[in-house]
Amino acid sequence: MVCESWNAELDAYLDGEVPEKELRAFGAHVCNCPFCSADALTRVQMKRAIHAAGKRFTPSAEFRKRMQQKIAPTPRRSFRLGWILAAVAAVILVVGTLTSAYLGTRSGGDRVFSEIVDLHVATLASSSPVDVISTDRHTVKPWFQGKIPFAFNLPELQNSEFSLLGGRMTYLDQTPGAHLIYDVRKHHISVFVFQERLLPAKLDERSLAPKQLPFTLETWSQSGLRYFVVGDASAADIDSLATLFKAAS
């Protein structure tokens, strides 16, 4: 199958480790191939699950101390129990160490950008990418009322090359937000909106998306909200859509 060569590099693509000249080709293939998009969705969900599990189950210093005390030398009659406890503690410590190492390889800002790209890829690979399907901003905007704890404006697209496909609720590290999907010349672009103060990492105007990301990404803060525009469209198109949102807000 022609997809075998793509599949072999899929993990590298999702981790942003594919050479820059291959990123757009990869993005176009994943968006149009149902097999690779489904595989990408599965891997993204697994990565997000590991991320969440790492935050929930990382052993505390007190827990480590108690485990060390339990596996300390004991009388011979407790020899087998000691080995069992040692094995359990070793497994927990290894999982915690690996998870911490994985999460520590990126700064807080880089992890936010990576999560945004994961959300974009997972949505495009989904069989139902939007919850409210409409090209009318006056239909999409009211749909979010009562579902997210803030309000935002959508730009007027008349005389532009962009078209609104719809929107859905989304979450970034348990922070609720809005996800809008736009189309320009057969390229899908995601626009995410979150409350700035609730984000898991602080970003400022100097925060730039890492160059190794497989998509073009632009972000800014306005009126207490943090906007992210991401997609495989050209940097000029990403910037144009961002400019429309800045003007609308």
- What are the boundaries of each domain within the chain? 3-51+106-248, 58-104
Q: Which has more pLDDT, 119 or 4?
A: 119
pLDDT band at 99 (very low <50, low <70, confident <90, very high): very low
Are the CB atoms for 229 and 245 separated by under 8 Å?
yes
Q: Which has more pLDDT, 27 or 242?
A: 242
Paired tokens of 51: 């991320």
**Chain centroid, CA 144 distance in Å:** 21
> Does the model's pTM come out above 0.75?
no
CATH architecture of 3-51+106-248: 2-Layer Sandwich (3.30)
Paired tokens of 93: 């410590």
Q: Which has more pLDDT, 235 or 58?
A: 235
Are the CB atoms for 196 and 185 separated by under 8 Å?
no
Are the CB atoms for 11 and 38 separated by under 8 Å?
no
Q: Give the pLDDT confidence of 139-178 residue by residue, as tens digits.
A: 999 999 999 999 999 999 988 999 999 999 999 888 999 9
pLDDT band at 210 (very low <50, low <70, confident <90, very high): low
Are the CB atoms for 117 and 123 separated by under 8 Å?
no
